[in-house]
Amino acid sequence: MTKKAARRTRASLQKGAGSPTDELPGDGGPDEATAFIAETAAALAKLARRHRLGMLVRLLEMAQMEAEERVRLRGKRNLS
């Protein structure tokens, strides 16, 4: 990102009422985000595997496992 683009981004954030971490309209919250991350990490790991990028495969698989574990634990907590 260029300096000019970075300044524009900061300026546009200051004009808005909320902070950049506020949930956007239509954002499904942490459960949906975690499921999306797990799914995306799996797809990226598949791509990395196809191109024989071993270290990336391992890192992406770890991210996928972490996200899936969080989805599983949140599901258990919601059942209680």
Read off the pLDDT of residues 11-68 as tens digits, 9 standing for 90 and up: 444 555 555 555 566 688 999 999 999 999 999 999 999 999 999 999 999 999 999 9
Asked whether the predicted pLDDT for residue 78 surpasses 90, the reply is no
Kindly indicate the confidence band of residue 69, based on its pLDDT and cuts at 50, 70 and 90.
Answer: very high
Is residue 34 within 8 A of residue 67, CB to CB? The reply is yes
Which residue is it, tokens 């900061």? 10
Give every CB contact of residue 60 below 8 A, 6+ residues apart in sequence. 41, 42, 44, 45, 48
Residue 33 φ then ψ, to 5°: -65, -45
Least confident of 1-10, 44-53, 54-63, 69-78: 1-10
CA–CA separation, 37 and 24 (whole Å): 17
Q: What pTM was computed for the model?
A: 0.64
